[in-house]
């Protein structure tokens, strides 16, 4: 009967309240010394309760409707009977304006409930069975002296979980809430509760201890009110360092010849120049010693950059290799080096030409990263000069472009930029008859070229040296 009485007291008095503090123990509550673990958790919970007292009593009622779940020392009486003499009449007399609160009123208002002899007895009886409620675990211990048999631990369980620690004085059941012990979790308007039952069910043919079931409950308040009596906000936690610099975020947009971004799907004709702009999100706030680099760009007929076929226009860590095919493909200078613009002549994939399809939809995919202001072999923007047959860096330092004539050595580190894709555009095939001009192609004999014509001289130079371009 003594154990059953303790169980009733435990149900009404041991409903514990969790506070938002760090979990200082590991995920496995099994430890070498359960007594030290119990004392440690008592200290942690006790410190938190002192820093953040429970809310006003009326908000913390147990399932039975009793207010006894709040520690006795924190209870604030609803009213106090005071024998006031005539000397106190002026203290309670209403008057205009404001004045400091008299000491007598402070003494009356802050009177705390004095634990009664009965409550002290209940606390003493509670020592037979104790519970600690933490934000992620429940610890229960029961004194061994209440059992008459040495193997009582075999029949003692917390829900479905057995005793997992023991000392000469106590049996311990230390479990995380995520353990499958039969914890019943209930959600209420202002608190969340966890219930379980401490069972003692001996299976021996004879009994020396009576079986019992002790209901246990932990209550976790959902919120606190700043106006609640006795609530003292406490700032907890350590120092958290968060980088103010935004992670690299890039965009690749299509533009018209004037530099305005094109919204929607643009349609080009074959050979028409297309303009692109790559920049970092919030580039205006970037560092003055940084520059945006495009390492590689290629076109596909699908939104998926891993699809085929694909046509590469920029390669070798910043070489405009399509510039050897057409003058329209080149890097363009910008007012800010946090932005990189380039142009490419419109094209279509030969294998996708169909008599039924009037146009092809294409996408541009680029590998972009940030680097130092001075270009290197692995971060550059090199154009091919058709006149000199040489590679030149957009802002000088032409020596970094010497790898553009071949494939960069594998000894150099690969670019680590992320592939960014543009919005799609369409290119009309020549059979659609939508081209702005139909160039008339003529056949010339190399020996009959008039070198006095500058244009013809350029073609003569090309025919004389074309083998050296590849």
Considering Cα of 36, then 37, then 40, then 45, what sign does the dihedral take?
negative
Going by C-alpha positions, the residue among 246, 250, 333, 251 that lies closest to residue 285 is 246
Rounded to the nearest 10 degrees, the angle between the axes of helix 2-13 and helix 117-126 is 110
* 202 belongs to a structural domain: yes
Would you state the pLDDT for residue 87?
A: 59
- Which residues does residue 376 pair with via DSSP β-bridges, in sequence order? 379
> How high is the pLDDT of residue 406?
77
Q: Are residues 255 and 215 in the same domain?
A: no
> Does 91 map to a domain?
no
Contact present, 303 and 362 (Cβ < 8 Å):
no
Beta pairing class for 425-428 and 266-269: parallel
Asked, for residue 155, whether it belongs to a domain, the answer is yes
How many CB atoms are located within 10 Å of the residue 48 CB? 18
Domain-embedded: residue 44:
yes
**Do residues 285 and 309 make contact, with C-beta atoms less than 8 angstroms apart?**
no
The answer to whether residues 53 and 172 belong to one domain is: yes
Show the domain range for 366.
250-440
In a domain, 458, yes or no: no
How many Cβ atoms are within 10 Å of 428's Cβ, its own excluded?
19
Statement to judge: residues 295 and 211 lie in one domain: no
Pair 312, 429 in one domain: yes
Output the six-digit token pair for 92.
């309670």
Q: What is the pLDDT of residue 232?
A: 59
Domain at 175, CATH number:
2.60.40.3210
Choosing from 178, 202, 221, the residue where a domain stops is 221
Rounded to two decimals, the pTM is 0.42
Report the half-sphere exposure of 230 (CA within 13 A, side-chain side).
22
Q: Which structure tokens are listed for 395?
A: 């802002």
pLDDT (tens, 9 = 90+) of the chain, 470 residues, equals 444 444 444 443 344 443 333 333 444 555 678 999 998 888 888 777 765 554 443 333 333 344 444 444 445 454 455 555 555 667 777 777 777 777 777 776 665 555 555 655 555 555 789 999 988 889 999 999 999 999 999 999 999 999 999 999 999 999 999 999 999 999 888 888 999 999 999 998 888 889 999 999 998 887 655 555 555 566 666 777 776 655 668 899 999 988 899 888 889 998 899 999 999 886 555 567 889 999 999 999 999 999 999 999 999 999 999 999 999 999 999 988 999 999 999 999 887 776 455 778 999 999 999 999 999 999 999 999 989 999 999 998 899 998 898 765 543 444 455 788 999 999 887 554 444 433 333 333 434 444 444 444 544 554 455 444 43
Asked whether residue 159 is assigned to any structural domain, the reply reads yes
Look at the chain and report how many structural domains it folds into: 2
Give a yes or no: residue 228 inside a domain.
Answer: no
The answer to whether residues 412 and 297 belong to one domain is: yes
Same domain (yes/no): 269, 408: yes
Q: Are residues 210 and 256 in the same domain?
A: no
Check residue 295 and give its pLDDT: 94
Domain final position from 180, 201, 221? 221
3-class secondary-structure state, position 370: strand
HSE toward the beta carbon, residue 81, CA cutoff 13 A: 0
One domain for residues 167 and 266: no
- What pLDDT does residue 239 have? 77
**Backbone φ and ψ of 368, nearest 5°:** -125, 145
Together in a domain, 201 and 296? no
* Together in a domain, 254 and 206: no
What is the three-state SS of 228-250? CCCCCCCCCCCCCCCCCCCCCCE
Q: What is the pLDDT of residues 196-240, one digit of tens each?
A: 999 999 998 888 889 999 999 998 887 655 555 555 566 666 777
Residue 13 lies in a domain: yes
* Torsion angle in degrees (nearest 10) through CA of 276, 281, 282, 283: -50
The gap between the terminal CA atoms of the chain, to the nearest Å, is: 100
Same domain, 126 and 267: no
**Whether residue 199 sits in one domain with residue 320:** no
User: Are 310 and 322 spatial neighbours (Cβ–Cβ below 8 Å)?
Assistant: no
CATH number of the CATH domain containing 340: 2.60.40.4100
pLDDT for 15: 42
For residue 16, whether the previous peptide bond is cis, meaning omega lies within 30 degrees of 0, is no
Helix (H), strand (E) at residue 220: strand 212-221
The reported pLDDT for the residue numbered 51 is: 58
Q: Which tokens sit at 425?
A: 């555009």
């Amino acid at each position: 009967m003594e154990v059953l009485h303790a169980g009733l007291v435990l149900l009404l008095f041991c409903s514990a309240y969790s506070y938002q503090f760090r979990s200082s123990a590991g995920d496995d509550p099994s430890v070498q010394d359960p007594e030290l673990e119990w004392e440690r958790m008592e200290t942690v919970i006790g410190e938190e309760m002192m820093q953040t007292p429970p809310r006003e009593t009326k908000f913390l009622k147990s399932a039975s409707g009793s207010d006894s779940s709040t520690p006795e020392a924190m209870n604030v009486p609803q009213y106090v009977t005071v024998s006031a003499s005539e000397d106190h009449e002026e203290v309670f007399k209403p008057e205009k304006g404001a004045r400091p609160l008299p000491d007598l009123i402070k003494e009356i208002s802050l009177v705390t409930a004095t634990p009664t002899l009965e409550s002290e007895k209940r606390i003493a009886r509670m020592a037979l069975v104790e519970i600690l409620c933490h934000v992620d675990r429940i610890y229960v211990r029961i004194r061994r002296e209440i059992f008459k048999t040495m193997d009582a631990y075999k029949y003692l369980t917390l829900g479905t979980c057995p005793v997992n620690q023991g000392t000469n004085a106590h049996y311990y059941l230390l479990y995380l809430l995520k353990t499958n012990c039969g914890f019943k979790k209930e959600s209420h308007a202002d608190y969340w509760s966890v219930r379980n039952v401490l069972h003692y069910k001996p299976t021996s043919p004879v009994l020396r201890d009576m079986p019992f079931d002790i209901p246990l409950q932990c209550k976790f308040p959902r919120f606190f009110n700043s106006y609640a009596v006795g609530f003292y906000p406490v700032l907890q936690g350590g120092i958290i360092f968060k980088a103010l610099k935004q992670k690299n975020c890039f965009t690749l947009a299509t533009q018209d010849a004037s530099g305005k971004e094109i919204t929607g799907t643009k349609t080009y004709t074959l050979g028409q120049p297309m303009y692109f702009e790559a920049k970092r999100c919030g580039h205006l706030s970037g560092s003055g010693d940084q520059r945006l680099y495009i390492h590689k760009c290629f076109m596909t007929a699908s939104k998926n950059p891993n699809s085929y076929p694909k046509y590469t226009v920029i390669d070798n860590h910043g070489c405009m290799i399509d510039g050897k095919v057409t003058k329209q493909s080149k890097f363009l200078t910008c007012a800010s080096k946090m932005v990189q613009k380039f142009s490419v002549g419109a094209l279509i994939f030969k294998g996708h030409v169909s008599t039924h399809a009037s146009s092809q939809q294409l996408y541009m995919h680029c590998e972009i990263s940030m680097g130092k202001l001075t270009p290197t072999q692995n971060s550059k923007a090199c154009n091919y000069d058709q006149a000199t047959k040489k590679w030149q860096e957009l802002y000088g330092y032409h020596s970094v472009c010497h790898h553009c004539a071949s494939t960069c050595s594998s000894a150099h580190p690969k670019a680590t930029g992320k592939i960014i894709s543009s919005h799609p555009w369409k290119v009309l095939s020549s059979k659609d008859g939508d081209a702005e001009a139909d160039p008339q192609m003529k056949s010339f004999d190399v020996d009959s070229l008039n070198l006095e014509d500058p244009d013809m001289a350029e073609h003569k130079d090309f025919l004389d040296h074309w083998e050296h371009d590849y």
